[in-house]
């Protein structure tokens, strides 16, 4: 997966040291209540769409960009449902990062957009819609948690996003 240019520039100064980065993730539900998931190219696991924000990028705008780039689905970002922190991640090249994740509930902008779900870049090997009770067993733990936060937010009739107190 390509490293954003601004992260590569930071790495030229800090090497493999831990970087704290802003991330976004999308729990996308279609009109039938199905979840949009992608099979990640880096680890082969299914996951919600996620990504790193560009410097100065508004989170919802960046998330809609990520979903479109990765799946070809144009989305409407409806609500912030969780604010969490990931565990530190160490990549194969030794780089270390940790993410502040803003998880949003989204929906396709149209039925045609939802029908156009596909692998749209090199970050995924498959893209598909799944019923919430029929997600793949090889779903990332973080995606399972994010889906739980979004569905819990919906079941509660909205309200404040999840965060650790």
Q: Rounded to an integer, what distance in angstroms lies between the CA atom of residue 122 and that of residue 119?
A: 8
Give the E-state strand segments of the chain in sequence order: 18-28, 35-40, 46-47, 49-52, 75-85, 89-90, 96-108, 124-130
Q: Residue 54 is encoded by which pair of tokens? A: 């560009």
User: Residue 2: pLDDT band by 50, 70, 90 thresholds?
Assistant: confident
Count of C-beta atoms within a 10 Å radius of residue 162: 19
Count of C-beta atoms within a 10 Å radius of residue 43: 10
Q: Rounded to an integer, what distance in angstroms lies between the CA atom of residue 63 and that of residue 51?
A: 7
**3-state per-residue secondary structure call for 101-146:** EEEEEEEECCHHHHHCCCCCCCCEEEEEEECHHHCCCCECHHHHHH
Tens-digit pLDDT profile for residues 69-107: 999 999 999 999 999 999 999 988 999 999 999 999 999
Q: Rounded to an integer, what distance in angstroms lies between the CA atom of residue 106 and that of residue 95?
A: 31
User: Residue 4: pLDDT band by 50, 70, 90 thresholds?
Assistant: confident
**What value does the mean pLDDT of the chain take?**
95
* pLDDT above 70 (res 120): yes
Furthest-apart CA atoms within the chain: distance in Å: 47
Q: Rounded to an integer, what distance in angstroms lies between the CA atom of residue 114 and that of residue 30?
A: 7
């Amino acid at each position: 997966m390509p490293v954003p240019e601004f992260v590569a520039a930071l790495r030229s100064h800090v090497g493999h040291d831990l970087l704290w980065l802003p991330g976004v993730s999308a729990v996308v539900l279609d009109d039938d209540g199905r979840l949009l998931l992608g099979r990640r190219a880096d680890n082969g696991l299914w996951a919600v769409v996620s990504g790193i924000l560009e410097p100065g990028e508004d989170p919802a705008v960046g998330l809609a960009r990520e979903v479109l780039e990765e799946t070809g689905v144009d989305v409407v970002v409806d609500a912030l449902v969780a604010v969490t922190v990931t565990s530190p991640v160490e990549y194969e090249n030794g780089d270390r990062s940790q993410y502040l994740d803003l998880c949003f509930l989204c929906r396709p902008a149209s039925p045609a957009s939802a029908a156009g779900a596909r692998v749209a870049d090199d970050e995924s090997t498959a893209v598909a819609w799944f019923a919430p009770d029929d997600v793949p067993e090889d779903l990332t733990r973080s995606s399972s948690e994010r889906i739980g936060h979004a569905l819990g937010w919906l079941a509660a009739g909205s309200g404040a996003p999840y965060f650790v107190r």
